[in-house]
Amino acid sequence: MLSIRKIGVIGRTYRHLTRYRQILGVFFKYGFGDFIERLKIDQYIEIGLQMIAKDRRPRVERLAGAQRLRMAIEELGPTYIKLGQILSTRPDLIPPDVLSELAKLQDHVPPRDYHAIRQVFEDDFGQFPEKLFQSFSETPFASASIGQVYQARLKDGEQVAVKVQRPGVNKTIEIDLEIMLHLATLMESHIEEMVLHQPVKIVDEFAKSLEREIDYTIEASNMERIAQLFLDDHTLYIPKVFRELTTSQIITMEFVEGVKVSDIQALSDMGLDRKRITQRGADICLTQIFYHGFFHADPHPGNIFVLPQNVICLIDFGMVGSVDRQTRENFVDLIENVVNKDDDGTTRVLVKLALWDDEPDLRILRKDVSEFINEHVYKPLKDIDLSKVLSHLLELTSRNQLRIPPDLFLMMKALGTLEGVAAQLDPDFNLISQSVPFLEQVKLNRYHPERISGDMMRLGSELLDFLHRFPNDLLEIARLAKQKKLTVNIRHTGLAEMRATNDRTSNRISFAIVIASLLIGSAIIINSEIPPFVYGISLIGIIGFSAAAVMGIWLLIAILRKGRL
């Protein structure tokens, strides 16, 4: 369980200051110095920005901001890489240009020493791996930012893969998250344009996602759930999880010897059918999404293996997606309206699917949707690139102040990734054609007698509940009105800024009146020749004029600072 707190006096420890300097140094290095200085960090952290190295890589300024951000994140290490990877699935939080750049992030993390890994077993099981397993390889065969994977053999001789969380990764993540939260708070306080992006919310969402990802018991549950859903499907194999050797930091699963789906030569050497593998893999992914609504959200080549007889094996279930029935049906409606070249229908369904704060201008949105349809639909199926369609859709929604929900984006991204894998295996394969039966089935399910009867029963139950409660609610309102206890709360929105503007205006007027009074009073005093005198001029009058001058300059600076006279 991650324990994240705001950095205050207690949090100003050496560990925070050292890491803070590293983080700020990297951001300065990649050309974000002006942005960092606007945060006014010196007011909150005892660290001078002048202490931070401001050297930058040659020609780094020529790169786009999104590219420089990705390079900075890669240099900052595991927590920030994982942040970027998770945010690359959140179009509701991140602009499209940054989104596509973050999707390129890769882990380049050397493995931890085996003696440190042994301590994780000691902490969780009270025993070292040599006691728990018949044999345990000291060298990992895979390593990432959060964990590394070892080959081992159980007491009964069965071969297993053991993924172990890096020692101390929780503490490192907590420190980085505390610093992220502090930086996000400063952004919202000092950079007006960042308020719209809600950086504090982004950090909070990231912390929740990361907490789920570093708990290996959740990954184990995901594996078991997918295996249960495909229990009768012999075209998919999910490695078995050994719960007795699984904790939040360690997951032990069956070791599967297969060929990576991207190793075309090995597939050919084994006599496997690439076309059949492609079709099966697509059917498995589409079944997860459109039939079950629970799917492996990262089906890249490294997570897909092929076993004898063209059986597909999926691994690494740290990232999964879930879409409810209504979202799936709305998505199918969206596709149907796009295929039918229905601008109005597509616009309506898109607004229904997306998230938004202020209702978009439907006229502008409809125009953009029409351009989207014209660009992509009037092509042969084989020429339609799902990745380009997804990218265009993100640009369209972002331009119209709409946001694609995270799980829906994960679903579309999984389909885009699947299309890329399929293109390597079978260049003639068309994912859109393969999807048609699944989309048709989603539409037909709406009219299934069991679905209709279920909807009717639920609607009847809700209506009955309403009819049961409504008279009582009406009587309660009448009773409160009779006893003069009925209150109506009216919430005004948008008045705070107007009130603040009025306060500033009245303060400036009052200030100006005081200045004018000082000027008039001082002039009267000088004219009346009231002692004491300085060079024949009344000292009290001079003091009055001086005070009026200082206050006038102060008022002028305050007005100019706001940019409005």
* Active-site annotation, residues: 298
At position 462, the amino acid (one-letter code) is: E
Q: Is the N-terminal amide bond of 532 cis, ω within 30° of 0?
A: yes
- Rounded Cα distance, 293 and 393, in Å: 22
Phi, psi of 103 (to 5 degrees): -65, -15
Other CB atoms within a 10 A radius of the CB of residue 54 amount to 13
DSSP state of 291: I
**391 close to 398: Cβ distance less than 8 angstroms:** no
Within 13 Å, how many C-alpha atoms sit on residue 370's CB side? 8
- Angle at CA of residue 78, ends 122 and 208, nearest 5°: 80
- Rounded Cα distance, 295 and 321, in Å: 5
121 sits in which H/E element:
helix 114-125
**221, 306, 241: which is closest to 229 by C-alpha?**
221
At position 81, the amino acid (one-letter code) is: I
Read out DSSP for 6-17? ---TTT--HHHH
Listed in sequence order, the DSSP H helices in 30-64 are 33-37
**421 close to 303: Cβ distance less than 8 angstroms:** no
Q: Is 560 exposed, middle or buried (0-12, 13-18, 19+ CB in 10 A)?
A: exposed
Across the strands, what pairs with 142? Answer: 149
**415 close to 287: Cβ distance less than 8 angstroms:** no
Read out DSSP for 452-513? HHHHHHHHHHHHHHHHHHHHHHHHHHHHHHHTT---------SHHHHHHHHHHHHHHHHHHH
**310 close to 277: Cβ distance less than 8 angstroms:** yes
Read out DSSP for 350-406? HHHHSB-SS---HHHHHHHHHHHHHHHTSS-GGG--HHHHHHHHHHHHHHTT-B--H
